[in-house]
Amino acid sequence: MRRMSRSPTTPPTLEDVARVAGVSRATVSRVINGTRNVDRKIQEVVRAAIDQTGYAPNRAARSLVTKRAGTIALVVSGAGEPGDEDAFAARVFSDPFFGRVASGVLGFLRTRGVHPVLMVADTEAAREDVLSFLRQGSADGALLVSTHAEDPLPARLVEAELPAVLFARPARPVPISYVDLDHQAGAKLAADHLVGRGCTQVATIAGPLDVPASQDRLTGFRDAMARHGFPYVPIAEGGFTSGSGEAAMERLLAEHPGIDGVFAANDLMAQGALMVLHKHRRLVPEEVALVGFDDSSPALACRPRLTTVRQPVEDMAAGMSRLLLDHVEEPGLRPRSVIFEPALVVRDSA
C-alpha cells in the first residue's frame, strides 16, 4: 500500500524509523543522541531512514524520561498597575533595555539548543503561574529581570529550590545567583568626565530609589563628586522613563538655574532631559553637559548624540543565561554572582 505524503497520518515515531532501518529503537535513539558507539554502516542506514520518514523526535516523550524541558523561562517581573493588566507588559517591552536583554539571552541560548519562554509576572496570579510553570517541568529554570524592589519572586524561587538567576542584585538579600554591573564605577566615570570638562554646578537625575541599581549610581556619583571637591549634588528622582526625565529636568532647572552639567541615571531620562534643555534654550553640551547611562538606542537617536556610560547588557544577559544552565545541570551549585564593568562612551552631549 502506498503511503500518501498528505497527512491526517500520525507523525513517524522512533519505532517507525527502527522498522525502516531494520534495527531496534535503542539503536536509532543512540545515533540521534550521539551516545555510545554505533557502527558506521548502521549509522548511515539509520540516518537514511530518518530522512525517508521525516522523523522528528517527540519532545514530550523525551522530556518525560530525561526530566529536562530544554526551555527556560524569561521572566519580567514588576508591579502591574491594578486595572490595566497589560500596561506593565506594554511599558517593559517598549523599553529598549529589555530588548537588549532578550537579544543577549537568545544569542547565548541558541548556541545551546535551549529556547526561552516569555513570561510577565506583574500580579500574584502571574507569579503563581511562573512558579507552577517551573514546577510542572515546563521550563528547567528561570531568568528573572525584576523591575521593582519589593518583588517577592526571587525568594519564592529560592524557597521552591528552582534554578534561577537574576539580572541584578535583589533589593533584599536572597541566596540566589545574579549578574550585575558595577554601577558605582559607572557613575564615577560620568562624574569624572563632567568635572574633567570643567563643569562646576552638576546635578543628577536619579532612577527610582527603591531599586538597588539607582541607589548605587547615585551613591557612586555623589562619592566621586565629593572626591572632586563638590560635596553637594542636587538630585531629582525619575522613573527611568523619558517623561519622568523631562519632569526631573524641569525641577532641577527651576531650583538650580545655574546648572552646567547633568548625569541622568539612564538614557531614556537623559533623552527627556535633553528635550527640556532644548526647550529652555540651553545649548548642549556648551552650556549644559549631559551624560546618560546604558548606551541604549535612544543614546544614538538623540541630537546631540548622548555621551553615556555603557552597560554591556547583551553580555550580561548571555552571562546570566550561562549561569542558569550551569545551575540546571548541577542542581547543588551555590549562588554565584558575576559583576560586569561599565565603560564611558563619549559622543556629543558632554
Partner DNA sequence: GTGAAAGCGCTAACAT
Partner DNA sequence: ATGTTAGCGCTTTCAC
Binding site residues, its own copies, CB under 8 A: 7, 11, 56-61, 63-64, 69-71, 74, 85-86, 89-90, 93-96, 98-100, 102-104, 106-107, 110, 115-120, 126, 129, 132-133, 135-138, 161, 242-243, 271-272, 275, 278-279, 296-298, 300-301, 303, 314
Name which of 5 and 10 has its Cβ closer to DNA.
10
To the nearest whole angstrom, how small is the minimum distance from the Cβ of residue 56 to DNA? 7
Binding status of residue 27 toward DNA by CB under 7 A: yes
Q: Exposure of 56 by Cβ count < 10 A (0-12 exposed, 13-18 middle, 19+ buried)? A: exposed
Which entry of its own copies, DNA, none binds 99, CB below 5 to 8 A by partner kind?
A: its own copies
53 contacts which partner out of its own copies, DNA, none, CB within 5 to 8 A by kind?
A: none
Does 139 help bind DNA (rule: CB under 7 A)?
Answer: no
Cα gap 61→11, rounded to integer Å = 13
Grid cell, residue 318, equals 548571555
| Residue 185 near residue 343, CB atoms below 8 Å | no
> Among residues 57 and 234, whose Cβ is nearest to its own copies?
57
Residue 304, number of CB atoms within 10 A of its CB: 15
Smallest separation (angstroms) from its own copies to the CB of 242: 5
Question: Phi and psi at residue 273, in whole multiples of 5°?
Answer: -60, -40
Rule CB under 7 A: is residue 30 a binding residue for DNA?
Answer: yes
Q: Which of DNA, its own copies, none interacts with 152 (beta carbon under 5 to 8 A by kind)? A: none
Partner whose footprint covers residue 200, from DNA, its own copies, none (CB < 5 to 8 Å by kind): none
Binding flag, residue 29, DNA (CB under 7 A): yes
CB closer to DNA out of 27 and 321:
27
Q: Which is nearer to its own copies, 165 or 224 (CB)?
A: 165
Strand 307-310 to 289-294 pairing: parallel
| Least distance from its own copies to the Cβ atom of residue 20, Å | 18
What's the closest the beta carbon of residue 85 comes to its own copies, in angstroms? 7
- Give how many residues touch DNA by CB under 7 A: 30
Q: How far apart are CA 16 and CA 307, in angstroms?
A: 62
Q: Which residues, 36 to 95, sit near DNA by CB under 7 A?
A: 36-39, 41-42, 55, 57-58, 61-62, 64-66
β-bridge pairing 343-345 and 307-310:
antiparallel
Burial class of 219 by CB neighbour count within 10 A (0 to 12, 13 to 18, 19+): middle
Phi/psi of residue 180, nearest 5 degrees:
-160, 175
* 30 contact choice in its own copies, DNA, none (CB below 5 to 8 Å, kind-dependent): DNA
26 binds DNA (CB under 7 A): yes
Question: What does the binding site for DNA look like in residue numbers (CB under 7 A)?
Answer: 10-11, 13-15, 22-27, 29-30, 32-33, 35-39, 41-42, 55, 57-58, 61-62, 64-66
